[in-house]
Amino acid sequence: MRILSVVGARPQFVKLAPIAAAMKGRADHVIAHTGQHYDELMSDVFFRDLGIPAPDFNLGVGSGKHGAQTGAMLHGLEQILEESAPDCVLVYGDTNSTLAAAIAAVKMHIPVAHLEAGLRSFNRRMPEEHNRVLTDHSSDLLLAPTEVAVQHLANEGLGSRTVLVGDVMTDVLFKVRDMLDRTNEPLAVNAEPGGYYVCTIHRPDNTDSPDRLAAILGTLGSLDKPVILLAHPRLVHLAEKHGFSLEQGSLRVASPLAYPQLVNAVRNSAGVITDSGGLQKEAFLLRTPCTTIRPETEWVETVELGWNVLVSEDLGILADTVKRPAPEATDAAPYGDGKASERTVEALLDAFA
Protein backbone atom coordinates (compact mmCIF):
# COMPACT_ATOMS: atom_id res chain seq x y z
CA MET A 1 0.00 0.00 0.00
CA ARG A 2 1.28 3.47 -0.87
CA ILE A 3 0.86 6.14 1.82
CA LEU A 4 1.68 9.77 1.07
CA SER A 5 2.62 11.91 4.08
CA VAL A 6 2.25 15.65 3.58
CA VAL A 7 4.23 17.94 5.89
CA GLY A 8 5.37 21.56 5.71
CA ALA A 9 5.99 23.14 9.11
CA ARG A 10 8.41 22.43 11.92
CA PRO A 11 6.13 20.50 14.31
CA GLN A 12 5.10 18.24 11.44
CA PHE A 13 8.68 17.16 10.79
CA VAL A 14 8.94 16.05 14.44
CA LYS A 15 5.74 13.96 14.06
CA LEU A 16 6.89 12.55 10.72
CA ALA A 17 10.12 11.12 12.23
CA PRO A 18 8.57 8.22 14.20
CA ILE A 19 5.94 7.61 11.49
CA ALA A 20 8.60 7.29 8.75
CA ALA A 21 10.49 4.80 10.96
CA ALA A 22 7.33 2.77 11.67
CA MET A 23 6.41 2.67 7.94
CA LYS A 24 9.65 0.85 7.03
CA GLY A 25 8.86 -2.61 5.68
CA ARG A 26 5.10 -2.07 6.15
CA ALA A 27 4.11 0.36 3.40
CA ASP A 28 5.45 2.24 0.41
CA HIS A 29 5.87 5.60 2.15
CA VAL A 30 6.15 8.73 0.03
CA ILE A 31 6.83 12.18 1.56
CA ALA A 32 5.72 15.55 0.20
CA HIS A 33 7.04 18.80 1.78
CA THR A 34 4.96 21.88 0.97
CA GLY A 35 7.82 24.27 1.76
CA GLN A 36 5.75 26.26 4.30
CA HIS A 37 8.89 26.28 6.47
CA TYR A 38 12.09 26.53 4.47
CA ASP A 39 14.88 27.98 6.67
CA GLU A 40 17.70 25.57 7.51
CA LEU A 41 16.84 25.76 11.24
CA MET A 42 13.08 25.47 10.64
CA SER A 43 13.25 22.48 8.27
CA ASP A 44 16.46 20.75 7.05
CA VAL A 45 17.95 20.27 10.48
CA PHE A 46 14.94 18.16 11.55
CA PHE A 47 15.24 15.80 8.59
CA ARG A 48 18.95 15.38 9.32
CA ASP A 49 18.88 14.99 13.11
CA LEU A 50 15.79 12.79 13.26
CA GLY A 51 16.87 10.51 10.39
CA ILE A 52 13.85 11.33 8.21
CA PRO A 53 14.22 10.33 4.54
CA ALA A 54 14.52 13.30 2.18
CA PRO A 55 11.10 14.35 0.80
CA ASP A 56 10.15 12.84 -2.56
CA PHE A 57 8.49 16.14 -3.50
CA ASN A 58 9.03 19.73 -2.33
CA LEU A 59 6.59 22.40 -3.45
CA GLY A 60 8.63 25.29 -2.08
CA VAL A 61 5.56 27.48 -1.53
CA GLY A 62 7.21 29.60 1.21
CA SER A 63 5.45 32.25 3.30
CA GLY A 64 2.36 34.25 2.46
CA LYS A 65 -1.13 35.23 3.57
CA HIS A 66 -3.35 32.31 4.54
CA GLY A 67 -5.33 32.20 1.29
CA ALA A 68 -2.35 32.61 -1.02
CA GLN A 69 -0.23 30.11 0.89
CA THR A 70 -2.95 27.47 1.28
CA GLY A 71 -4.09 27.94 -2.32
CA ALA A 72 -0.58 27.49 -3.71
CA MET A 73 -0.26 24.27 -1.73
CA LEU A 74 -3.62 22.99 -2.91
CA HIS A 75 -2.65 23.62 -6.52
CA GLY A 76 0.75 21.96 -6.16
CA LEU A 77 -0.50 18.99 -4.15
CA GLU A 78 -3.09 18.11 -6.77
CA GLN A 79 -0.27 17.49 -9.24
CA ILE A 80 1.71 15.48 -6.69
CA LEU A 81 -1.31 13.30 -5.94
CA GLU A 82 -1.85 12.63 -9.64
CA GLU A 83 1.78 11.70 -10.10
CA SER A 84 2.23 9.57 -6.97
CA ALA A 85 -1.27 7.95 -6.94
CA PRO A 86 -1.30 7.03 -3.23
CA ASP A 87 -3.85 4.70 -1.61
CA CYS A 88 -4.20 7.22 1.19
CA VAL A 89 -2.89 10.61 2.28
CA LEU A 90 -1.69 11.15 5.85
CA VAL A 91 -1.89 14.73 7.15
CA TYR A 92 -0.41 15.98 10.41
CA GLY A 93 -1.53 18.47 13.05
CA ASP A 94 -3.16 21.80 12.26
CA THR A 95 -1.17 24.00 9.92
CA ASN A 96 -2.11 25.40 6.54
CA SER A 97 -0.19 22.47 4.99
CA THR A 98 -2.55 20.07 6.82
CA LEU A 99 -5.70 21.69 5.49
CA ALA A 100 -4.38 22.05 1.93
CA ALA A 101 -3.44 18.36 1.78
CA ALA A 102 -6.78 17.22 3.19
CA ILE A 103 -8.75 19.28 0.66
CA ALA A 104 -6.54 18.24 -2.27
CA ALA A 105 -7.00 14.55 -1.43
CA VAL A 106 -10.70 14.59 -0.63
CA LYS A 107 -11.48 16.32 -3.93
CA MET A 108 -9.59 13.58 -5.79
CA HIS A 109 -11.46 10.82 -3.88
CA ILE A 110 -8.30 9.67 -2.15
CA PRO A 111 -8.85 8.55 1.47
CA VAL A 112 -7.45 10.98 4.05
CA ALA A 113 -6.16 10.14 7.52
CA HIS A 114 -5.59 12.92 10.06
CA LEU A 115 -2.93 12.40 12.68
CA GLU A 116 -3.49 14.42 15.87
CA ALA A 117 -7.21 14.61 15.18
CA GLY A 118 -9.78 15.95 17.65
CA LEU A 119 -7.78 18.71 19.35
CA ARG A 120 -9.83 21.79 20.07
CA SER A 121 -9.08 25.15 21.67
CA PHE A 122 -12.62 26.43 20.90
CA ASN A 123 -10.91 29.71 19.99
CA ARG A 124 -11.93 30.60 16.47
CA ARG A 125 -9.35 33.40 16.30
CA MET A 126 -6.63 30.78 15.88
CA PRO A 127 -5.82 29.71 12.30
CA GLU A 128 -5.00 26.27 13.72
CA GLU A 129 -8.54 25.87 15.05
CA HIS A 130 -10.07 26.38 11.58
CA ASN A 131 -7.50 24.02 10.11
CA ARG A 132 -8.26 21.28 12.66
CA VAL A 133 -12.02 21.43 12.43
CA LEU A 134 -12.06 21.53 8.61
CA THR A 135 -9.46 18.75 8.34
CA ASP A 136 -11.24 16.47 10.79
CA HIS A 137 -14.53 16.82 8.94
CA SER A 138 -12.83 16.11 5.58
CA SER A 139 -10.98 13.00 6.77
CA ASP A 140 -11.93 9.34 6.55
CA LEU A 141 -9.77 8.18 9.45
CA LEU A 142 -9.20 10.25 12.59
CA LEU A 143 -6.11 9.25 14.56
CA ALA A 144 -6.62 10.79 17.99
CA PRO A 145 -3.78 11.39 20.46
CA THR A 146 -5.82 11.49 23.70
CA GLU A 147 -9.12 10.45 25.30
CA VAL A 148 -10.15 14.12 25.36
CA ALA A 149 -9.62 14.34 21.58
CA VAL A 150 -11.71 11.18 21.10
CA GLN A 151 -14.52 12.82 23.07
CA HIS A 152 -14.40 16.02 21.00
CA LEU A 153 -14.69 13.98 17.79
CA ALA A 154 -17.61 11.99 19.21
CA ASN A 155 -19.35 15.26 20.16
CA GLU A 156 -19.06 16.37 16.51
CA GLY A 157 -20.54 13.11 15.19
CA LEU A 158 -17.17 11.73 14.05
CA GLY A 159 -16.86 8.88 16.55
CA SER A 160 -17.19 6.06 13.99
CA ARG A 161 -14.12 7.27 12.05
CA THR A 162 -11.95 7.69 15.17
CA VAL A 163 -9.12 5.50 16.48
CA LEU A 164 -7.18 6.35 19.65
CA VAL A 165 -3.49 5.78 18.80
CA GLY A 166 -1.71 8.00 21.36
CA ASP A 167 0.63 10.88 20.66
CA VAL A 168 3.50 10.34 18.23
CA MET A 169 5.39 13.28 19.79
CA THR A 170 5.78 11.09 22.87
CA ASP A 171 7.45 8.42 20.69
CA VAL A 172 10.08 10.79 19.33
CA LEU A 173 10.60 12.65 22.60
CA PHE A 174 11.26 9.47 24.62
CA LYS A 175 13.72 8.25 21.99
CA VAL A 176 15.64 11.53 22.01
CA ARG A 177 15.57 11.76 25.83
CA ASP A 178 17.05 8.25 26.10
CA MET A 179 19.73 9.15 23.55
CA LEU A 180 20.60 12.27 25.60
CA ASP A 181 20.85 10.12 28.75
CA ARG A 182 23.45 7.95 27.00
CA THR A 183 25.52 10.71 25.36
CA ASN A 184 25.67 13.43 28.01
CA GLU A 185 25.42 16.21 25.37
CA PRO A 186 26.51 19.70 26.44
CA LEU A 187 23.83 22.38 26.65
CA ALA A 188 23.33 24.33 23.42
CA VAL A 189 22.21 27.42 25.37
CA ASN A 190 24.61 29.79 27.03
CA ALA A 191 23.46 29.30 30.64
CA GLU A 192 23.92 27.07 33.68
CA PRO A 193 21.65 24.04 34.21
CA GLY A 194 18.65 25.07 36.33
CA GLY A 195 19.54 28.76 36.02
CA TYR A 196 17.40 29.85 33.05
CA TYR A 197 13.97 29.67 31.42
CA VAL A 198 13.34 28.46 27.86
CA CYS A 199 10.93 30.70 25.97
CA THR A 200 9.18 30.70 22.59
CA ILE A 201 6.54 33.16 21.38
CA HIS A 202 5.18 33.11 17.83
CA ARG A 203 1.36 33.07 17.73
CA PRO A 204 -0.38 35.90 15.83
CA ASP A 205 -2.45 36.86 18.92
CA ASN A 206 0.78 37.50 20.86
CA THR A 207 2.95 39.02 18.14
CA ASP A 208 0.84 40.88 15.57
CA SER A 209 -0.24 43.75 17.83
CA PRO A 210 2.69 46.03 18.78
CA ASP A 211 1.11 46.76 22.20
CA ARG A 212 0.64 43.11 23.07
CA LEU A 213 4.14 42.15 21.91
CA ALA A 214 5.72 45.06 23.82
CA ALA A 215 3.87 44.05 27.00
CA ILE A 216 4.99 40.42 26.67
CA LEU A 217 8.63 41.32 25.97
CA GLY A 218 8.69 43.81 28.86
CA THR A 219 7.31 41.21 31.28
CA LEU A 220 9.73 38.50 30.12
CA GLY A 221 12.60 40.96 30.51
CA SER A 222 11.68 41.51 34.16
CA LEU A 223 11.95 37.84 35.21
CA ASP A 224 14.39 36.66 37.88
CA LYS A 225 16.55 34.43 35.65
CA PRO A 226 17.86 34.66 32.08
CA VAL A 227 15.07 33.95 29.60
CA ILE A 228 16.49 32.17 26.55
CA LEU A 229 14.19 33.33 23.78
CA LEU A 230 14.40 30.85 20.89
CA ALA A 231 13.23 33.33 18.32
CA HIS A 232 10.94 32.05 15.54
CA PRO A 233 11.54 34.03 12.29
CA ARG A 234 7.96 35.37 12.55
CA LEU A 235 8.87 36.99 15.90
CA VAL A 236 12.14 38.40 14.57
CA HIS A 237 10.39 39.93 11.54
CA LEU A 238 7.56 41.43 13.60
CA ALA A 239 9.88 42.85 16.27
CA GLU A 240 11.89 44.54 13.50
CA LYS A 241 8.71 45.85 11.88
CA HIS A 242 7.42 47.28 15.18
CA GLY A 243 10.89 48.67 15.99
CA PHE A 244 11.41 46.63 19.21
CA SER A 245 14.58 45.12 20.52
CA LEU A 246 14.22 41.49 21.61
CA GLU A 247 17.20 41.88 23.93
CA GLN A 248 15.81 43.63 27.02
CA GLY A 249 16.41 42.92 30.71
CA SER A 250 16.63 39.16 31.31
CA LEU A 251 15.87 38.30 27.69
CA ARG A 252 18.65 36.55 25.72
CA VAL A 253 17.86 35.97 22.06
CA ALA A 254 18.94 32.72 20.41
CA SER A 255 18.15 30.97 17.13
CA PRO A 256 15.58 28.15 17.04
CA LEU A 257 17.21 24.92 18.24
CA ALA A 258 17.46 21.55 16.56
CA TYR A 259 15.17 19.01 18.22
CA PRO A 260 17.67 17.11 20.43
CA GLN A 261 19.16 20.40 21.59
CA LEU A 262 15.71 21.75 22.40
CA VAL A 263 14.86 18.68 24.48
CA ASN A 264 18.18 19.02 26.33
CA ALA A 265 17.61 22.74 26.95
CA VAL A 266 14.08 22.15 28.28
CA ARG A 267 14.95 19.34 30.63
CA ASN A 268 17.82 21.33 32.15
CA SER A 269 15.83 24.55 32.53
CA ALA A 270 14.01 26.02 35.54
CA GLY A 271 10.85 26.25 33.44
CA VAL A 272 9.35 26.84 30.01
CA ILE A 273 7.38 29.93 28.95
CA THR A 274 5.66 29.50 25.60
CA ASP A 275 2.65 29.87 23.34
CA SER A 276 3.54 26.75 21.34
CA GLY A 277 1.30 23.69 21.56
CA GLY A 278 4.05 21.11 21.19
CA LEU A 279 6.37 22.69 23.73
CA GLN A 280 3.73 22.61 26.49
CA LYS A 281 3.51 18.87 26.06
CA GLU A 282 7.24 18.34 25.70
CA ALA A 283 7.75 20.23 28.97
CA PHE A 284 5.18 17.99 30.68
CA LEU A 285 6.73 14.79 29.32
CA LEU A 286 10.12 15.96 30.64
CA ARG A 287 8.45 17.07 33.89
CA THR A 288 9.59 20.68 33.51
CA PRO A 289 7.04 23.28 34.76
CA CYS A 290 5.46 25.28 31.95
CA THR A 291 3.71 28.66 31.79
CA THR A 292 1.65 29.18 28.64
CA ILE A 293 0.91 32.68 27.36
CA ARG A 294 -2.54 31.91 25.95
CA PRO A 295 -6.13 32.08 27.23
CA GLU A 296 -6.69 28.37 26.60
CA THR A 297 -4.88 25.19 25.58
CA GLU A 298 -5.70 22.09 23.58
CA TRP A 299 -3.45 20.07 25.89
CA VAL A 300 -5.74 20.38 28.91
CA GLU A 301 -4.15 17.39 30.68
CA THR A 302 -0.95 19.40 31.30
CA VAL A 303 -3.00 22.01 33.20
CA GLU A 304 -5.19 19.52 35.08
CA LEU A 305 -2.08 17.68 36.32
CA GLY A 306 -0.59 20.97 37.56
CA TRP A 307 2.42 21.13 35.21
CA ASN A 308 1.15 23.96 33.04
CA VAL A 309 -0.42 27.30 34.05
CA LEU A 310 -2.13 29.63 31.56
CA VAL A 311 -1.45 33.37 31.69
CA SER A 312 -3.07 35.61 29.13
CA GLU A 313 -4.51 39.07 29.75
CA ASP A 314 -3.01 39.60 33.19
CA LEU A 315 0.71 39.52 32.42
CA GLY A 316 1.29 40.99 35.90
CA ILE A 317 1.03 37.46 37.35
CA LEU A 318 3.63 35.97 35.00
CA ALA A 319 6.63 36.50 37.29
CA ASP A 320 4.99 34.76 40.26
CA THR A 321 3.59 32.04 38.04
CA VAL A 322 6.98 31.02 36.62
CA LYS A 323 8.46 31.03 40.15
CA ARG A 324 5.65 28.86 41.61
CA PRO A 325 6.60 25.81 43.70
CA ALA A 326 7.27 22.58 41.80
CA PRO A 327 4.10 20.71 40.82
CA GLU A 328 3.18 17.43 42.48
CA ALA A 329 5.00 14.45 40.92
CA THR A 330 2.83 12.30 38.66
CA ASP A 331 3.18 9.14 36.64
CA ALA A 332 0.09 9.94 34.57
CA ALA A 333 0.58 9.21 30.86
CA PRO A 334 -2.22 11.02 28.98
CA TYR A 335 -0.04 11.20 25.85
CA GLY A 336 0.55 7.48 25.46
CA ASP A 337 3.39 5.06 25.92
CA GLY A 338 5.75 5.95 23.06
CA LYS A 339 4.22 3.44 20.62
CA ALA A 340 1.68 5.68 18.88
CA SER A 341 3.47 5.55 15.51
CA GLU A 342 3.24 1.73 15.35
CA ARG A 343 -0.48 1.93 16.19
CA THR A 344 -0.91 4.62 13.52
CA VAL A 345 0.60 2.46 10.77
CA GLU A 346 -1.53 -0.48 11.95
CA ALA A 347 -4.69 1.66 11.80
CA LEU A 348 -3.82 2.90 8.29
CA LEU A 349 -3.27 -0.64 6.99
CA ASP A 350 -6.49 -1.83 8.67
CA ALA A 351 -8.52 1.01 7.17
CA PHE A 352 -7.13 1.29 3.65
CA ALA A 353 -4.99 -1.72 2.61
Q: In whole angstroms, give the CA distance from residue 12 to residue 33.
A: 10
Diameter of the chain measured on Cα atoms: 57
CB nearer to ligand UD1: give 29 or 37. Answer: 37
Among 9, 73, 231, 257, binds ligand UD1 (CB under 6 A): 9
Stretch near ligand UD1 under the rule CB under 6 A, chosen from 3-11, 174-182, 290-298, 323-331: 3-11
Q: Which residue in the set 237, 241, 287, 324 belongs to the binding site for ligand UD1 (CB under 6 A)?
A: 237
> Judged by CB under 6 A, which stretch of 31-39, 103-111, 290-298, 332-340 contacts ligand UD1?
31-39
Mark residues 163-202: x for contact with ligand UD1 by CB under 6 A, - for none. Answer: ---------------------------------------x
- Report the residue from 34, 36, 139, 308 that binds ligand UD1 according to the rule CB under 6 A: 36
Stretch that binds ligand UD1, among 37-45, 107-115, 152-160, 186-194 (CB under 6 A): 37-45
Q: Considering 114, 152, 202, 232, which one is annotated as catalytic?
A: 202
Nearer to ligand UD1, 39 or 350 (CB): 39
Among 95, 268, 308, 341, binds ligand UD1 (CB under 6 A): 95
Q: Should residue 128 be labelled a site residue for ligand UD1 when binding is judged by CB under 6 A?
A: yes
130 annotated active-site: no
Q: Which of 210, 233, 249, 306 binds ligand UD1 (CB under 6 A)?
A: 233
Is residue 129 at the binding interface for ligand UD1, with CB under 6 A as the rule?
A: no
Task: Using DSSP bridges, classify how beta strands 88-92 and 112-115 pair: parallel, antiparallel or unpaired.
Answer: parallel
Nearer to ligand UD1, 63 or 183 (CB): 63
What's the per-residue H, E or C state across the chain?
A: CEEEEEECCHHHHHHHHHHHHHHCCCCEEEEEECCCCCCHHHHHHHHHHCCCCCCCEECCCCCCCHHHHHHHHHHHHHHHHHHHCCCEEEEECCCHHHHHHHHHHHHCCCCEEEECCCCCCCCCCCHHHHHHHHHHHHCCEEEECCHHHHHHHHHCCCHHHEEECCCHHHHHHHHHHHHHHHHCCCCCCCCCCCCCEEEECCCHHHHCCHHHHHHHHHHHHCCCCCEEEECCHHHHHHHHHHCCCCCCCCEEEECCCCHHHHHHHHHCCCEEEECCHHHHHHHHHCCCCEEECCCCCCCHHHHHCCCEEECCCCHHHHHHHHCCCCCCCCCCCCCCCCCHHHHHHHHHHHHHC
The least distance separating ligand UD1 from the CB of residue 74, rounded to whole angstroms, comes to 14
Contact assessment for residue 218 and residue 248, using Cβ atoms and an 8 Å cutoff? yes
Contact between 206 and ligand UD1 per CB under 6 A: no
The interface with ligand UD1 within residues 53-72 (CB under 6 A) comprises 63
Which strands make up the sheet holding 197-200, listed edge to edge? 251-254, 227-230, 197-200, 271-274, 290-292, 308-310
Choice between 38 and 244, CB closer to ligand UD1? 38
Q: Whole-number minimum distance, CB 320 to ligand UD1, in Å?
A: 27
Q: Of the ranges 88-96, 114-122, 150-158, 284-292, which one interacts with ligand UD1 (CB under 6 A)?
A: 88-96
Kindly tell me which of 20 and 73 has the beta carbon lying closer to ligand UD1.
Answer: 73
Return the residues of window 258-317 that contact ligand UD1 according to CB under 6 A. Answer: none
CA distance 350 to 353: 6
* Number of residues engaging ligand UD1 in binding (CB under 6 A): 19
The residues binding ligand UD1 (CB under 6 A) are: 9-11, 36-39, 42, 63, 94-96, 127-128, 202, 232-234, 237
| Residues tagged active-site | 202
